[in-house]
Amino acid sequence: MNERGELLIVPDQATLADEAARRFVALAQAAISAKGRFSVALSGGSTPRATYERLAQPPYHDQIDWSNVHVFWGDERYVPLDDPESSFRMAREALLRHVPIPAANIYPMPTVGGTPEAAAGAYAATITAFFDAEQPRFDLILLGIGPDGHTASLFPGAPELTTPSGDMVVVVRDAPKPPPTRLSFTLPLINAAANVLFLITGADKAATLREVLRGPLEPARLPAQGVQPAQGKLLWLVDMAAAREL
C-alpha cells in the first residue's frame, strides 16, 4: 500500500475474475447492511466481462440482495444500448439479465434521442437525484486502463485533465479508442468514491502499468494516475502478465 493505492497480483485472468467478484460481493453486503443499498459504477472494455459472468453464477449470485443494488456506468460509448459496442449491453448480457435486479435500479447512460451534451447533463442529474447529497459517493467504481494510460473515457491530453470542467460527467469526442464519441465520469466524481477497483490483465498492459504505478506523476499523459480517492480505498487487481514489469 502506498499513496497510489494497494496492489494485489493474482496468477491469471480466471483468478482475477473470482477475486473481483468476491470483493464486489463483500462491498455489496457491507453497504446494504450499513445503509440499505449498494451503488456501483461499472466499467466497459473486455476485462470485466469475466467478473460480471462470475457474479451471475453461484456462489456469488446468491450472496447478493440484488433488489438493493443500483448499477451505473463510469463511462459509456455513445452508441445505442443494443449496439455491440455498448458497455451497457455487455453488462446486461454478462450479468444483469441473469440476476433479480429491478429494472428501476439500472441506470444506463442515455445515448440516443438527444445530444451527447444533453446526455451528460441528464446523467449528472440522475446521479445527483440518486445520492441526494452535495458530493455523490459511489460505494464502488470499477475501472480499467488502456495501453495509452486512459481510464474510463479520460484519454491522454483530454482538456478535462488540465482544466477540469467542474462537471461530474463529460462528453469525449475523437477518442483514440473507438467508438470516438463517449461519455465519462470525471476525476472528482471518481475520486469521491468509497472504493475504486481497477481490473487489469494481459501483457499489453504491463509497460503502461509500470509507468502508472512507478513512474513520475503525469496525469495529463497517464489519466489513470489521476485516480486517487480522497477518502476511499484504491485497489489495483492485476494478473501476473500485466504485473511482469513491476
> What residues from 225 to 244 belong to the interface with ligand 6PG (CB under 6 A)?
none
Per rule CB under 6 A, is residue 46 in the interface with ligand 6PG? Answer: yes
Q: What is the Cα–Cα distance from 171 to 75, expressed in whole angstroms? A: 10
Contact 123, 185 (CB under 8 A): no
* Binding region for ligand 6PG (CB under 6 A) out of 11-19, 20-28, 37-45, 114-122: 37-45
Nearer to ligand 6PG, 203 or 217 (CB): 203
Contact call for residue 219 and ligand 6PG (CB under 6 A): no
Given 108, 110, 136, 146, the residue binding ligand 6PG (CB under 6 A): 146
Instruction: Tell me which of 13, 47, 186, 225 binds ligand 6PG, using CB under 6 A.
Output: 47
Candidates 209, 203, 74; CA nearest to 149 is 209
CB of 88 to ligand 6PG, least distance (A): 11
Q: Smaller CB distance to ligand 6PG: residue 39 or 208?
A: 208
Describe the strand order of the beta sheet including 182-185 as a list of residue ranges.
75-77, 182-185, 169-172
Of 44 and 136, which has the nearer Cβ to ligand 6PG?
44
- Residue 45 near ligand 6PG by CB under 6 A: yes
The answer to the question of residue 77 lying near ligand 6PG (CB under 6 A) is yes
To the nearest whole angstrom, how small is the minimum distance from the Cβ of residue 48 to ligand 6PG? Answer: 7
Q: Which stretch binds ligand 6PG (CB under 6 A): 17-25, 51-59, 139-147, 214-222?
A: 139-147
If one asks whether residue 144 binds ligand 6PG (CB under 6 A), the answer comes out as yes
Q: What is the DSSP code string of the chain?
A: -BTTBEEEEESSHHHHHHHHHHHHHHHHHHHHHHHS-EEEEE--SSTTHHHHHHHTSTTGGGGS-GGGEEEEESEEESS-TTSTT-HHHHHHHHTGGGS---GGGB-PPP-SSS-HHHHHHHHHHHHHHHH-SSS---SEEEE-B-TTS-BTTB-TT-HHHHS--S-SEEEE-S-SSSSS-EEEE-HHHHHT-SEEEEEE-SGGGHHHHHHHHHS---TTTSGGGG---SSSEEEEEEEHHHHTT-
Using rule CB under 6 A, residue 87 touches ligand 6PG: yes
**Per rule CB under 6 A, is residue 165 in the interface with ligand 6PG?**
no
Which residue is associated with the grid cell 495509452? 148
Q: Does 152 bind ligand 6PG (CB under 6 A)?
A: yes
Beta carbon of residue 134, minimum distance to ligand 6PG (angstroms, whole number): 27
Segment contacting ligand 6PG by CB under 6 A, of 42-50, 113-121, 159-167, 225-233:
42-50
- Tell me which residues touch ligand 6PG (CB under 6 A): 43-47, 75, 77, 87, 144-146, 150-153, 177
